[in-house]
Amino acid sequence: MPRLSKSGGDAVSLGTVAVTGAAGTVGSVARKALRGETERLILLDRVPLRPEAENEDVHTVDLRDVAAVESALAGADRVLHLGGVPDEAPLPDLLETNVLGTHHVLEAARRTGIERVVLASSNRVTGFYPAGHLTSPLEPVRPDGLYGVSKAAVEALGRLYADKFGLSVVCLRIGSFEYLPTEPRHLATWLSPRDAVGYLRAALVAPPSLRFTTAYAVSDNTRRFWALPDPAELAYDPVDDAELHVTGIPAADSPADPAAPQAGPYALPQFTLKHLRP
């Protein structure tokens, strides 16, 4: 398959693509970007959606319903799994939606012969690495909270289904997806909409011989914490840099502590304590 340019302009046939969490922030951007590149776009969310193009097929689905997930994904060539609880929450909720929901998506892929599954992981899987450390996805996970734990489990499920059942799985550790960076941490973690689409598209069209990989989806920020993907596995070069927006970010010039956790406030005990029993 062709390498995607920085603009993402290479023409690639995506066939039938299913997107879970299609009503979400990233899902909405992916929906708009991919609808012109697919023969059929299957959109799943627990929030009711309406078709916006002739090739869109919408389904109101709870990821916890295994039969409904498999039915909705029937006929897909590739799945972009973005659905789930998007932030810190009680662990039972995260396990039920993020982990069990991902299991249902992977099971549907196994049972129906879907050739590629792209799983939305998170940078929060490694939030306790220090800010002065350029982190590789090959290093052990260090989740900054219960949400990070659920995403580590999502990655483990993807690895299992790749190793045991031969699925082709790409896990993207998504950065701080924002239209513009607005806080000092974003100078390292920002993922622009343009780069998000580039990473998602690259993950969908990566060669079928790629059995499993995990990569950080982050813009090419001067201050980034994470290593960019190996181009031999994920052929996308990010183009945006949060540094270009530094003048609009309060306290951007304050010295950063290289020993502080990359997660920033997400690593604080109180961020998780409010979701635990008193």
Radius of gyration of the chain measured on its C-alpha atoms: 18
- Can you tell me the distance from the alpha carbon of 49 to that of 213, in angstroms, rounded to the nearest whole number? 31
Question: For the chain, how far is it from start to end, CA to CA, in angstroms?
Answer: 53
Q: Model confidence over 247-264: pLDDT tens digits? A: 999 999 988 899 999 999
Residue range of the domain that includes 153: 16-273
125 occurs within a structural domain: yes
* Catalytic residue from among 147, 199, 216, 236: 147
113 occurs within a structural domain: yes
267 occurs within a structural domain: yes
65 with 77: CB under 8 angstroms?
A: no
Res 11: pLDDT = 53
Beta-carbon contacts of residue 189 (< 8 Å; ≥ 6 apart): 123, 175, 176, 218, 221, 224, 225, 262
Instruction: Report the DSSP beta bridge partners of residue 122.
Output: 174
185 with 123: CB under 8 angstroms?
A: no
Quote the pTM value. 0.94
Tens digit of each residue's pLDDT, the chain (278 residues): 333 333 344 455 799 999 999 999 999 999 999 999 999 999 999 999 999 999 999 999 999 999 999 999 999 999 999 999 999 999 999 999 999 999 999 999 999 999 899 999 999 999 999 999 999 999 999 999 999 999 999 999 999 999 999 999 999 999 999 999 999 999 999 999 999 999 999 999 999 899 999 999 999 999 999 999 999 999 999 999 999 999 999 999 988 899 999 999 999 999 999 999 98
CATH number for the domain that contains residue 98: 3.40.50.720
Number of domains in the chain: 1
Q: Scanning the structure block, which residue is given the tokens 């840099």? A: 241
Q: Scanning the structure block, which residue is given the tokens 């993207």? A: 172
8 occurs within a structural domain: no
254 occurs within a structural domain: yes
- Can you tell me the distance from the alpha carbon of 28 to that of 24, in angstroms, rounded to the nearest whole number? 6
The pairs formed by 22-26 with CB atoms below 8 angstroms and a separation of 24 or more are 22/49, 22/58, 22/82, 23/47, 23/49, 24/82, 24/83, 24/86, 25/177, 26/82, 26/120, 26/174, 26/177, 26/196, 26/200
| 216 is an active site residue | no
135 occurs within a structural domain: yes
35 occurs within a structural domain: yes
Q: Model confidence over 39-88: pLDDT tens digits? A: 999 999 999 999 999 999 999 999 999 999 999 999 999 999 999 999 99
40 occurs within a structural domain: yes
Res 73: pLDDT = 98
Res 27: pLDDT = 98
